[in-house]
Amino acid sequence: MSDVTQILNAIEQGDARAADKLLPLVYDELRRVAAWKMSQESPGQTLQATALVHEAYIRLVGLERQNWTSQTHFFAAAAEAMRRILIDSARRKQRLKRGGNPQKVQLEDTELTIQGPSDDLMVLDEALVELGQIDKVKADLVKLRYFAGLTLVQAANMLNLPERTARRHWTHARAWLYRRITGVA
């Protein structure tokens, strides 16, 4: 049993000091995942990778009753927490009461029919929720690949899938998401 798994078990048993021991062990990996995910975000993102790691860690360790079975389960939960944080951030930015998505435009040379860009992350999240209702394993595979930055083999291992099955699921999920997002039949 790894050190991380032992500490996760201690946290689950209610050891408050165990959480302090966990962060130094998982920080570098969480920071790598967060940095990769932030590199996928659009320019002008105000959330930094370090803040994303800290927010995800607080959400994970601050939960009432954790039930992590392993280190990989913890990192999958961390990836999901980061996804939710990024979605929440995108929603906050989109709200009109927070200024929406203002764009600086010279009015002398422009007609006033400006439409802001669609928020790809929110569209993907909606499609993933729908895919999760149809096939949870395929949705989890996409989350692990896209949000956690795992390879297909790593994600397959985490989901206890044979690699060939994971490849088929990945191909099908990508095609399904493409059709759902673009509206192509």
Q: What is the dihedral of CA 154, 79, 84, 166, to 10 degrees?
A: 10
Strand, helix or coil for residue 103: coil
Over residues 69-91, the mean pLDDT reads 78
CATH 1.10.1740 location in the chain = 1-100
Taking 3-state DSSP, the helix, strand and coil percentages for the chain, each rounded to the nearest 5, stand at 70, 0, 30
CATH 1.10.10 location in the chain = 116-185
Q: Which CATH architecture has domain 116-185?
A: Orthogonal Bundle (1.10)
Mean pLDDT of the chain: 76
Q: What is the largest CA-CA distance in the chain?
A: 67
Which pLDDT value is given to residue 8? Answer: 74
**Total-model pTM:** 0.55
Residues of the chain above pLDDT 70, percent? 72
Q: What is the CATH class of 1-100?
A: mainly alpha
Distance between CA 124 and CA 134 in Å, rounded? Answer: 15
